[in-house]
Structure 1
């Protein structure tokens, strides 16, 4: 019985760490770096927060595609351009980045700290 508890604990720890660690093949940038790269026509910017969060505060040039809608809306994005993803804290954008990589996007960037870090 004790062995099963260790296995379960290990599995839970693995899945938690996997969610927190950066996704392989995804670049991370700070909001300072984002400010220097905003407006680049070779990039597409998406905000994966809810429409209410986006309406309350957003960065000009970002398109709102909520995380829950992303799998059905990836066709709105070009695989030929870099995708820069932001959310409120960086957690949902990390999940979105993982989804984009699974859908065949090769150039994905997650904004660390999200809107919480945007000044």
Structure 2
């Protein structure tokens, strides 16, 4: 997966590399085609975007959970301190999870955290919702339905 280093503040790069190097489990990233197949066979799609992003449109999946990895605050975005607790209350550590975000960055961080905290069957969806939409895969847009 190619990620521009310019997308990350300098401190977050060091944190990201530390987390990746210290994690025992290796993150597996799949493209949206593979993710779609996994979703169709019953895996849970864990959308880690903000609630606002989720409500503007999300992957159309039978088993979908939205737990934001980052929260919007008056001082900017910050990591959701309850992320692991919220995921643990919605999913079991043995569930098959596909973790997705807008472009593939937050989902990579979230997948790393989940694996390092005992989740067993977690994969990252590379390219995120942007690639999902580019491929014209099914989406659910709740706000548009409410506005009709």
TM-score interval (norm. to shorter): 0.7 to 0.9
User: Tell me, what secondary structure is at the counterpart of 1:105?
Assistant: coil
Give the Cα–Cα distance (whole angstroms) in 1 for the partners of residues 13 and 99 of structure 2: 25
Q: In the alignment, which residue of structure 1 is the partner of 2:46?
A: 46
Q: In the alignment, which residue of structure 1 is the partner of 2:84?
A: 71
Q: Which of the two has greater strand per residue?
A: 2
Answer whether contact 1:48 1:87 (CA < 8 A) is retained. yes
- Render the CA deviation track for 1:9-57: whole Å, top value 9, x for unaligned: xx969717728x797422110011122222322x221000000100101
Give the Cα–Cα distance (whole angstroms) in 2 for the partners of residues 32 and 52 of structure 1: 25
- Unpaired runs of 5+ residues, structure 1, are 1-10
Give the Cα–Cα distance (whole angstroms) in 2 for the partners of residues 14 and 47 of structure 1: 23
- Unpaired runs of 5+ residues, structure 2, are 1-9, 70-79, 136-148
TM-score by length of structure 2 reads 0.62
1:83 deviation in Å?
1.2
- Render the CA deviation track for 1:51-107: whole Å, top value 9, x for unaligned: 010010101222111112422212321112221100001110011101101210121
Q: In the alignment, which residue of structure 1 is the partner of 2:113?
A: 99
